[in-house]
Amino acid sequence: MEKIKRIALVAHDTCKKDLVEWVEWNWQTLSQHHLVCTGTTGRLVEDALTRKQAEHKVMYPLNIVKLKSGPLGGDQQLGAMICEGKIDVVIFLWDPMNPQPHDVDVKALLRIIVLYDVVTATSRSTADFIISSPLFSKEYHEKPRDFSSYINRKIN
């Protein structure tokens, strides 16, 4: 994992306000990394970062990739990026109290995140711990994943 991280930011509708507040609080750090967002979250994140930079009279080039909305395939797009090794950190503020029309997609995304051992936060407090970790601003050498036992197993 390089020093400059590839960070996915995802939030269900009821959590978007929380994510935007978190982005505004951490705008300087986030502006130095590559961001990937699903749906409306991408526009909200870009607006928040642009607003904070203007407030502080600094302009970092923003590197934000905006995927489709989660229910329209954004979760699958993000999952594919994880499988391809293109995501280092996922901040996914999801709403455990309200069923989503794409719950199956959310479960599949969370499965891929765990399978590929991607650093993940599903709440603001875990996001705070991740972004404030000394490891966040350094290169990190994760243990290589070995799927050979799964790939080589015999099907009876």
Active-site amino acid positions: 75
Write out the two tokens for 88: 């280092």
Question: Strand 119-121 relative to strand 89-93: parallel, antiparallel, unpaired?
Answer: parallel
Number of other residues whose CB lies within 10 A of the CB of residue 78: 27
Q: Max Cα separation, the chain?
A: 64
The answer to whether 127 touches 120, Cβ cutoff 8 Å, is no
> Which residues, other chains included, contact 142 with Cβ-Cβ below 8 Å and sequence gap of 6+?
1, 117
